[in-house]
Amino acid sequence: MNYEGHLKGHRGWVTSLACPQQAGSYIKVVSTSRDGTAISWKSNPDRHSVDSDYGLPNHRLEGHTGFVSCVSLAHATDYALTASWDRSIRMWDLRNGQSQRKFLKH
């Protein structure tokens, strides 16, 4: 296992990460945090060393009102599901960063 770099963007502890199964995806990672957000990350084309940012925020996924505890990516990686301590699940379109559906009483 080799260290490849870091991601900066959350204002709270990171609670989960998901990576797409397809190697050629433009989204490299989706992370969730206690700051109430998820972030989809894309590759940093200007990365020249492990001391630079591994990826850049593509979209900040905002809408939960509590800690976001986990994330799962759809097989095609255009969609993500996040679960929060606000007792909701949200489905996100990763192409535009918009919440598509909200499932309550989780």
Decide if 36 contacts 15 (C-beta within 8 A): no
Six token digits for residue 59:
């979209």
Q: What are phi and psi of 40, to 5 degrees?
A: -95, 135
pLDDT at 1: 73
Please list the pLDDT of the chain residue by residue as tens digits (106 residues): 777 777 888 999 999 999 877 656 566 789 999 999 999 998 766 766 666 667 788 999 999 999 999 999 977 668 999 999 999 999 999 999 999 999 997 6
Judged by phi (left if over 0) then psi (alpha if -120 to 50, else beta), residue 41 lies in beta
> What are the residue boundaries of the structural domains of the chain, listed by start?
14-103
The CATH-assigned architecture of domain 14-103 is: Beta Barrel (2.40)
pLDDT at residue number 51: 63
Q: 35-51 as b/e, with b when 16 or more CB fall inside 10 Å? A: bbbbbbbbeeeeeeeee
Q: What pLDDT is recorded for position 88?
A: 96
**Residue listed under structure tokens 């679960």:** 83
